[in-house]
Structure 1
Amino acid sequence: MEELLKAQGLTEEQIKAVMAGMVTNKIYTTSLENADERYNKLKGQKEDTEGQLNTANTTITDLKKNNKDNEILQATIKTREGTIATLKTDSDAKIKNLTINTAIDKVLATNKAKHSDLLASKFDREKLIVAEDGKITGLDEQFKGIKETYKDLFEETIAGKTPANNGGAQVNNTYETLMNNSDTMTAEEVAAQFMAMKK
């Protein structure tokens, strides 16, 4: 984002003010702040958990073989197996939810959705399937249906016209306008404002 602002000819002071204003007003490129970082962290935790589970399962298998007559130990092993299965299920669910939420945010942002939180709630997450490579089956189909049903909640880009902001007022070329309206503007509208300022 800072590189984009520099390319638009803003000074370091103006860039810092805009970036601070965006953070203050919770303006991000998706509704999840640091989504990639959070996803990678959860993925790393999942891989660690899987490594621990593999070690635990190997130990349990050995204990079962070598202690078939020990009823107390066999009962403990069954309990541990249940705990391990629950941990794996929870870890998989967290990764799946974050992957789906990030993909939904991305498709809504790319298609210039208004009120993305409301639209995100319209997706049936139970019907979305996340593959090992992170691809999501069913997302495109659901998005098409939602876009058709809620046409008025998507901006239409008309060639040669600048996006509207602040209740429909057209973008003008002042820094003050940007600072005064940044909390009601989308990322695309902010970029259009920078372009207008440069002109």
Structure 2
Amino acid sequence: MNLLEQLKAFLKSQGLEDTQVDTIANGLAGAKIHLSAEEKIDERYTKLKGQNELLDKQLKAANDTIETLKKDNGSNEDLLNEVQKYKDDNKALQDKYDKDVVEVEKKQLVINALTKEGAVHPDLLVASMDLSKVELKDGKISGHKDLFKDLKESYKDQFKEVDPEDGGDDKGGYQYVPAGGDDKGGKGDVDVIGAMQAYSVHK
């Protein structure tokens, strides 16, 4: 016999009619009255309440852990941003260095070309030139002839006659010859690496 049947039997023993017993039995669920086989129901409730509180603490701890992870993730993001900024700064410095190297090489090749054109002080003349009009590609410069023509007209006393057989004819461009390399271009070839080092010291 289950608990509900035991309750009905008890109510009948107390003199209630069957219809009354059934009405009471059917109304238990609606009144949120639940039967328990345990004698100490209060103790069971206390135990369940304690378990619920423990679960609440565990849930709170889990939420705290999530918040901590979010904060750590934010820190990692900040760190990644710092790393990215460092990379960007380094790239900017590298780009500037690469540009400076190109400008130094271009400048030295222009000085070399001016020397072949008979310039007395090519290092001074190059300072008056707009080197942005000179293109450097594959170790050769181009676009400089018109600039040289203007220089010869403006600074005639800064140029001397040159012997065409002594490297005066550039034949379409001036080739940079590394130190120790095969020199086929006449006199005045410049060590660009040395020039870069000098540029770095005096910058």
TM-score by length of 2: 0.39
Q: Which protein has the larger Cα radius of gyration, Structure 1 or Structure 2?
A: 2
